[in-house]
Amino acid sequence: SLISIIDANKKAQAIKTTTDNVTFAIENISKDMRIGTNYQCSTDGGITFPNTKKDCPEGGTAVKYTNNSGVDIMYRFNSIVQNGITQTTLVKTTITGCTTGCDEELISADSNVKISNMQFYVLGSDCELGVGSSCSQGRTQPRVVITASGLIVAKGSANTEFDLQTNISQRVRR
């Protein structure tokens, strides 16, 4: 019985560590985006961003913004099928002023996290420009909603499903 309890504890700790890593990645994104501007998301399944409309209430697979230092940053969810196996990653790309090593995997394909869906929703960003019917005299703060769902795969135990959602509201007023 003692060995079974120790084994169950190891599995629980592995799941908790993996969950903490996913939460940490999402919180780091949130922290930097809160003091950013010019939110925009890609709705075409790629990393092409529109030049005019910045809101995307229908969601997208990538989000771009300008951080507090004036650097354009993009986060994107990648889903790649190799040898019949779907591999997913969450990638941070530094766009402004970067020539090599611009991509950083926050959640890699070989981790214990298997993301099945991730969406970025940008709302109220058109208000930064002073346009849009929902902008009540420029008092609407732009915000980004991130949703993610998937599985945590721990050795020797059942997969654990997760659903995360976070709401990021802009802290900077222009």
Tell me the pLDDT tens digit for each residue of 83-118. 776 677 888 888 888 888 888 888 876 678 888 888
| Confidence at residue 146, expressed as pLDDT on a 0 to 100 scale | 92
Of 89, 63, 53, 65, the closest CA to residue 146 belongs to 63
Q: What is the mean pLDDT of the chain?
A: 80
Helix then strand then coil, in percent of the chain rounded to 5, is 20, 40, 35
- Rounded-to-integer distance, Cα 115 and Cα 77, Å: 9
Give the CA distances from residue 134 to residues 9, 38, 55, 60, 139, in Å, rounded to whole numbers and listed in that order: 50, 17, 12, 21, 10
DSSP code of residue 67: -
Mean pLDDT of the 117-126 span:
86
Of the pLDDT bands very low, low, confident and very high (cuts 50, 70, 90), residue 50 is low
The label of the residue with tokens 């190799």 reads 82
Geometric angle at alpha carbon 78, from 66 and 75, rounded to 5°: 10
Q: Which range, 63-67, 134-138, 159-163, is most confident?
A: 63-67
The label of the residue with tokens 């230092």 reads 69
| Confidence at residue 164, expressed as pLDDT on a 0 to 100 scale | 87
| Confidence at residue 16, expressed as pLDDT on a 0 to 100 scale | 82
- Return the amino acid letter for 143: R
User: Does the structure show a pLDDT above 70 at 136?
Assistant: no
CB 18 within 8 A of CB 112: yes
More confident residue, 74 or 89: 74
Q: Point out the least confidently predicted range of 47-61, 130-144, 158-172.
A: 130-144
| Confidence at residue 78, expressed as pLDDT on a 0 to 100 scale | 79
